Amino acid sequence: MNKDYYGPHLMVDILRADRGALGNLAKVSSFLDELPDRIGMKKLTPPIAFPYNPGGDPMDPEAGITGFIVIAESHISIHTYPHQGRAYFDAFSCRPFQPEQVLDLLLRAFKVTRYHSTLVKRGALNPRCSLDEIPTTPRP
């Protein structure tokens, strides 16, 4: 292992996107199914995506789609809110990947016009580090 962290975690808050794409269960499932292959990751499961509608009203702003896929390297998930034109996406991996590539594929798939992304280097698990060197948050 030649890195000083466990792996990259890309988080994207989609603030404006195509509402039809965000609300299309087949589109969300297909995106989750194809993304690992396109970024060189190994799928361990088929994608799991299902509609969520807490109030039963098809126009409920909280209604959307939740999707997830387990990859050998960790996971990829998305939660969409089509009536708001918003979604939340995560890609976490113990193996390096190109965040710009993942972001580009996501933006194209859902015709995103406004977003905020964050890339975090997760886990100071370099074998050269002592656990005493890793800053932690004490439990209250």
Active site residues: 74, 79, 94
CA 74 – CA 7 distance, rounded (Å) = 10
Contacts of 45 (CB under 8 A, 6+ apart): 69, 70
Kindly report the CA angle at 71 between 52 and 96, in degrees rounded to 5?
120
Within a 13 Å sphere around the CA of 17, how many CA atoms are in the beta-carbon half? 26
First to last CA, the chain: 33
Burial class (CB in 10 A: 0-12, 13-18, 19+), 32: buried
